[in-house]
Amino acid sequence: MTSAQVWYRFIGVRSTEAATVWLFFLHNFFLGIGTILVYVAANVILLENHPQTSLPIAYVSAALAMMAIGRIYTYFEHHLLLKRLAFRVLLAVSVLTFILGLFVLFGHSVASAVAIMVGYRMIYLLTNLEFWGVSAVVFDVRQGKRLFSIISSGDMPAKALGALLSVVVHAHADLVLLLLTAFVAFGAAMYVLRLTIKSHVVDVTPAQTRIHRRPTPPLISQLFGGSELVFTMCLSLAAIACVVTSVEYFFFVNVKQKFHHQVDLMQFIGFVLILTYLSALAFKLVLSWKTFERIGIRWSLAMLPIVALVGIALFGILLESNVSETGLLVYFCGLYLLLEVLRRAVFDPIFLVLFQPLTPHTRLKGHTLVKGFYEPLGMALAGVLLYSLHYFPQLPYWIPFVWMALFMGLALFFLNRTYRHYLDTLKNALERRFLGNDDLLMPVAARKAIISNLQSDDSTDVLNAIDWLQQHEPATLVAQSAALLQHPDGSIRVRTLSSLQIQTDPTLLFALATTDTEPLLRQSAAHWLAQHPDAGSQHLTDLWQQTDLSTRIGAIQGRLKANPDDQTARQHLSDLLKSDDISHRKAVLTLHAFFTQSQQHLMVDEALTSQDVALQQAGIQVAGSLIGNRLTPTVIGLLTRPLLWRAAMESLISGGEAVVPYLRMAVQPQANRILIQRIARVCGHIDAPESRELLVELAELPNLFWRAAALKALRNFDPLTADSARFQAILDEEWQLAQRLFRSLAGEPNVYLATCLEYELTLLQQRVFGLLMQLYDPQPIADAQRGVANATRDRKANALEMLDNLIPQPVYRSLQTLVDDLPVDEKLRLLAKLLAPVPDSEPIEVYIIRQGEAYFSDWTISVALNQIKASEGILTYIYPHLNSANLLIHESALNALQQLAANEAVSQQKLVASLNGYDYMSIKHSQTAQVSAVDRVIALKRTALFADTPENVLSSVAQIMNEVTFHEGQEIFAKGETGTSLFIIYDGEVGIFDGSEQLAKFTKGGFFGELALLDAEPRSATAIAHSDTLTFRIDHDDFYDLMEERGEVLQNIIRALCQRLRRQNELLRDLSASA
């Protein structure tokens, strides 16, 4: 590591940020040179002209001018691009410097002195707005926290140099030379700004308006851009500016009273300023960012007002002690120096960080409002108060310190509010961007729009309006029911009737039960009519005469619920039970509650043994209500059946806490991973202590995939403090594993294994977030997890900042290694500070093979097996993988043994001994496949559809691929057939035709029929093999099952389809243009 890298690490700059930091440092350096030279010129002249009265006048005048400049800047900020605005600001600053030079040459009055100070303040404001405006869009909130103090330190050496010049420069002719130098410095700042714009995007990108969960006060909406954060920042900075300006005034006045000669006066002030700026520089570079990291934002903000209050209290003590004039001078020098250092090194950088979670537009607008209006307002207030002292000379000397204490107390109050609003802003930046029905802020104001939505052409609008009216105004929904129940959209009619139920008119219910086109609606209408208290006997008689099965089912349900002994309903139920028709048997299952328990068992047994999938699913659903008997283990066993597992899950969930003991018995050490994952999902939907306890026990088991499933299901439960120690122990295990993986990643030369380790770390990150949700407030953690996974830089930075303020620092430091973009060596260094070292030095390949499928995904194990080297006991670790049900692991274990067989370090006797008792029937399925599992994954990776999907995910896709061979000229599918499969070409060539016209041709690595994976619709073209072709077929149902477990697959499918659609649109546009 070079000395430069050591220095960058020491001050908190990452190697990728070094060039950017230098640009901003130099930019601020040249701005600092320019402004401090103007400041020296202004102070030299002003202190010559009655500072006791001229200083307050200058403060007020400068504040008013700064407010005007701030408003003008705000206008152009909305009408010009930021980079163009930045150049124009620097041009304006150069012009102002030239004008100040004229005042220095020809003006020697108090008015000229005040005008020069006003000019300095205007230049200071403009350069500040320009510099921080550019910084705010280049850096995110995390970078700002580390780097704002560093880049802003660029003006500290410049200001120290200017202060040195003030010691030696006093003549007006020399001041003109200083202003000319400032003019050159601003030109250099413009050049650096040009370099910055060339290397970075300096623009305000439009951002989506964020949703406010509660209404914003009108005053804040009108004056502060709707941000309560900006509101409290404005008030707190105005109060601080008032106090800081007052301290500066008393410092200058006391110095003037002590040193009557101008040369002595400027030398003393110059030395104090040099000490101030050099101290601030050292603190900014060395300690500032570390202070932020250690004490956090809240105490960093509070440090300045607390120190100021202590300093003001010290003044009271000194006053009581009758301190001398020299003692007071030392006190004011010390207070001024201390507050200036804290303000520049601690408060200003962290205060500016608070803007970063806001949208870019609000961020810049808020910064301009704070610095361009409210800070000058505080300075103007100080000027008025100080100037008024001369009209009341009888007032005690300590009166100004009373208002300073009050304003600092007020600042402390608003800074505490600011911190709370900062956290709320971070949460709002990470929350979901859509409101749910329960989040509607003003139902009264929204009523008119919602009722009008009942006539909308969009069915979604109508359905949402029905839900809202059912919750808030059921009487209005009843009044609108006649029209809604005649709506052409069946889903709207069904939703309306399910909302109204027995409130519907019997005549209308009869019409719906006998004539509607929707079977579900006919059944529901008959159900409510049969138990309606106002239904006439003729309605019921006519209802029993209906032959429609849905109507009969509804009538039976309704009558038996109203009167379990109704003979007519019982007769119709008996008739259905005797029928052998599949639809009638399914209907009987929906009416199982009206049969005896033995009859229910018999019906379910017959359904479960049926060959009809729909009847099996109906039987599974009914079995859920019969929990506590011999059927429950059978239903649990169906959780791994492709077409039945969803019905089995719903059935078990409906069984409630009674199924938990059976689920616990199904959790065995050798249980199928899919079975455990679905058991966890079932437990996650059963709101019972027993269910939660089973999930916690699953999380504690030494199987990371079971743990991940359990933690995901536990999100449905509130955290319990009593379980914190258990989850903390699990979290410690995860940190140890992370340390081992990072250590291996740092020294891993093989790119394939390194990629696998990175994937395993992403899984570990997901588990860690799941554990944090059980230890801390789960909603902000969930929002932060989404933000970390987001590709947007600002959103990810906001997530990290939220976590930094939410969880303890040791936990955040460990989490930072998983989620932040740091070099691996830096991550290891951070973990080494927090964790005990990993005890053994076992090679990572051996560790992966030893831990096996309980810790690592199949592709990682496969890569490790293919790279294994002969070592003591290695055969013992390979042997269990020979019996793996996973084809990829099984094949890789065999390949590993073949490689070891050629190695002299492994004797043939040991190899034969390792295979003793091995069941060769376990490779029966591999003998029928032409392509190995590894080659299948590689073939998937070569297709555009899965090019961006990790191999660790593709190994799961490979398991649902079916090899299909087509001969030359053979039709793969025809136009108009219902598409249910995607085809990937492994070898050969396929043409896509519409009639006799060839639309496309695909060769090895190509894929077609991909829309069928998402929507089973008729094929739009015909596919024919041009040669003998080997393809992989992925079926719709299998793919949906896979997407339930691996959401990454769906994301990549959608991305590929969007790219293909975009290319087709571009082709159509080109064809249209050529035509």
942 and 886 together in one domain = no
Please say if the pLDDT value at position 435 is more than 50.
no
265 and 414 together in one domain = yes
Task: Give the CATH number, domain containing residue 1020.
Answer: 2.60.120.10
Can you tell me which residue has the tokens 């307050």? 56
Those residues whose C-beta lies under 8 Å from the C-beta of residue 293, and which sit 6 or more positions away, are 809
Owning domain of residue 1021: 933-1074
Question: CA geometry: angle at 104 spanning 99 and 106, to 5°?
Answer: 95
Mean pLDDT of the 673-697 span? 93
What does the pLDDT read at residue 971?
Answer: 93
Does 711 fall in a domain?
A: no
Look at 198-202, 459-463, 1000-1004 and tell me which has the smallest mean pLDDT: 198-202
Closest CA to 673 of 1046, 1019, 230: 1046
Q: Taking the mean position of all CA atoms in its chain, how far away is CA 1001? A: 41
179 and 89 together in one domain = yes
Which one has a higher pLDDT value, 285 or 963? 963
Look at 190-204, 342-356, 863-877 and tell me which has the smallest mean pLDDT: 190-204
**Cα–Cα separations (whole angstroms), residue 1004 to 756, 962, 1015:** 26, 16, 25
Eight-state DSSP code of residue 396: -
Per-residue confidence at 764, pLDDT binned at 50, 70, 90? very high
User: CB of 397 within 8 A of CB of 174?
Assistant: no
Which one has a higher pLDDT value, 47 or 364? 364
Tell me which of 629, 649, 683 is where a domain ends.
Answer: 683
Does 728 fall in a domain?
A: no
Please say if the pLDDT value at position 913 is more than 60.
no
Tell me which of 654, 683, 712 is where a domain ends.
Answer: 683
Which one has a higher pLDDT value, 518 or 260? 518
Which one has a higher pLDDT value, 1052 or 995? 995
Which one has a higher pLDDT value, 431 or 671? 671
Residue/partner pairs of 510-514 with CB below 8 Å, 24 or more apart: 510/539, 510/542, 510/543, 512/485, 513/543, 513/546, 513/551, 513/554, 513/555, 514/542, 514/543, 514/546, 514/548, 514/551
828-856 pLDDT per residue, tens: 888 888 888 877 678 899 999 999 999 99
10-67 pLDDT per residue, tens: 666 777 778 888 888 888 888 887 877 777 777 666 666 666 677 788 788 888 888 8
Per-residue confidence at 201, pLDDT binned at 50, 70, 90? low
418 and 451 together in one domain = no
What does the pLDDT read at residue 436?
Answer: 47
The strand pairing partners of 1008, in sequence order, are: 983
119 and 59 together in one domain = yes
Mean pLDDT of the 388-398 span? 78
229-249 pLDDT per residue, tens: 888 999 999 999 999 999 888
Per-residue confidence at 704, pLDDT binned at 50, 70, 90? very high
332 and 279 together in one domain = yes
Please say if the pLDDT value at position 337 is more than 70.
yes
Dihedral through CA 972, CA 976, CA 977, CA 983, nearest 10?
40
639 and 622 together in one domain = yes
**Burial letters 840-874, b for 16+ CB under 10 A, else e:** eeebbbbbbbbbbbebbbbbbbbbbbbbbeeeeeb
539-560 pLDDT per residue, tens: 778 878 888 888 888 888 888 8
Query: Is 837 strand, coil or helix?
Result: coil
Task: Give the CATH number, domain containing residue 341.
Answer: 1.20.1250.20
Task: Give the CATH number, domain containing residue 517.
Answer: 1.25.10
Count of domains observed in the chain: 4
Tell me which of 653, 683, 713 is where a domain ends.
Answer: 683
Element (H or E) spanning 283, and its range?
A: none
Percent of the chain with pLDDT over 70: 86
As a whole number of angstroms, the distance between CA 480 and CA 645 comes to 41
Does 440 fall in a domain?
A: no
> What is the pLDDT of the chain when averaged over all its residues?
81
Which one has a higher pLDDT value, 927 or 887? 887
Q: Taking the mean position of all CA atoms in its chain, how far away is CA 409? A: 36
234 and 343 together in one domain = yes
As a whole number of angstroms, the distance between CA 403 and CA 177 comes to 40
- The DSSP string of 608-641 is HT-S-HHHHHHHHHHHGGG-SSTHHHHHHHGGG-
Does 609 fall in a domain?
A: yes
Does 759 fall in a domain?
A: yes
1008-1042 pLDDT per residue, tens: 887 777 777 888 899 999 999 999 999 888 888 88
Please say if the pLDDT value at position 180 is more than 90.
no
407 and 458 together in one domain = no
Per-residue confidence at 438, pLDDT binned at 50, 70, 90? very low
Can you tell me which residue has the tokens 């309980």? 854
Please say if the pLDDT value at position 478 is more than 50.
yes
450 and 425 together in one domain = no
Per this entry, what is the length of the chain?
Answer: 1075
251 and 371 together in one domain = yes
As a whole number of angstroms, the distance between CA 433 and CA 940 comes to 34
Closest CA to 123 of 44, 37, 7: 37
Does 374 fall in a domain?
A: yes
Mean pLDDT of the 203-222 span? 58
Per-residue confidence at 872, pLDDT binned at 50, 70, 90? low
**Which of 209-218, 232-241, 365-374, 422-431 has the highest average model confidence (pLDDT)?**
232-241
What does the pLDDT read at residue 287?
Answer: 65
Please say if the pLDDT value at position 439 is more than 60.
no
What does the pLDDT read at residue 914?
Answer: 55
CA torsion sign for 207, 211, 214, 215 is positive
Please say if the pLDDT value at position 442 is more than 70.
no
Does 826 fall in a domain?
A: yes
Does 816 fall in a domain?
A: yes
As a whole number of angstroms, the distance between CA 630 and CA 601 comes to 9
**Which of 261-275, 894-908, 978-992 has the highest average model confidence (pLDDT)?**
978-992
404 and 369 together in one domain = yes
